[in-house]
Amino acid sequence: GQQLNQSPQSMFIQEGEDVSMNCTSSSIFNTWLWYKQDPGEGPVLLIALYKAGELTSNGRLTAQFGITRKDSFLNISASIPSDVGIYFCAGGNYGGSQGNLIFGKGTKLSVKP
């Protein structure tokens, strides 16, 4: 099935570092969502974006809806150990009859050894 291009695939963080990840698509979306998934659990919604160019924050997390509507970015500032997990971007087009989300493969955040 279709999946968005998400990068990096994995990264190691040290407490206090800033983290950046992005997601690109060949298709245009009118909605971008970012989720975090911990092992054995379902994805948890972090941020929702609905307008091209929009910048939205949720605590230490900031996400942007790309101007081209084909990409989105997520930044985490001053990372802490509980930020470890897998982050997924998801794009969708709402307002029509279908409401499916298309997900990336995820960016896995781990703690530096």
Partner 1 sequence: ETGVTQSPTHLIKTRGQQVTLRCSSQSGHNTVSWYQQALGQGPQFIFQYYREEENGRGNFPPRFSGLQFPNYSSELNVNALELDDSALYLCASSWTGGRTYEQYFGPGTRLTVT
Residues that bind partner 1 (CB under 8 A): 1, 3-4, 6, 31, 33, 35, 40-45, 48, 50, 88, 90, 92, 94, 97-106
Least distance to partner 1, CB of residue 84, Å: 17
Q: Which of 93, 87, 91 is nearest to 74 (CA)?
A: 87
CB of 7 to partner 1, least distance (A): 13
Question: 34: alpha, beta or left, given left = phi > 0 and alpha = psi -120 to 50?
Answer: beta
Least separation in angstroms between CB 14 and partner 1: 25
Q: Identity (one letter) of the amino acid at 74?
A: L
**8 A C-beta contact, residue 2 and residue 102:** yes
| C-beta closer to partner 1: residue 16 or 96 | 96
Q: Which is nearer to partner 1, 75 or 92 (CB)?
A: 92
Give the nearer residue to partner 1 in terms of CB position, either 78 or 100.
Answer: 100
- Give whichever of 82 and 97 is closer to partner 1, judged by the CB atom: 97
SS (H, E, C) 72-111: EEEEECCCCHHHCEEEEEEEECCCCCCCCCEEECCEEEEE
Contact 79, 30 (CB under 8 A): no
Min separation Cβ 78 and partner 1, Å: 26
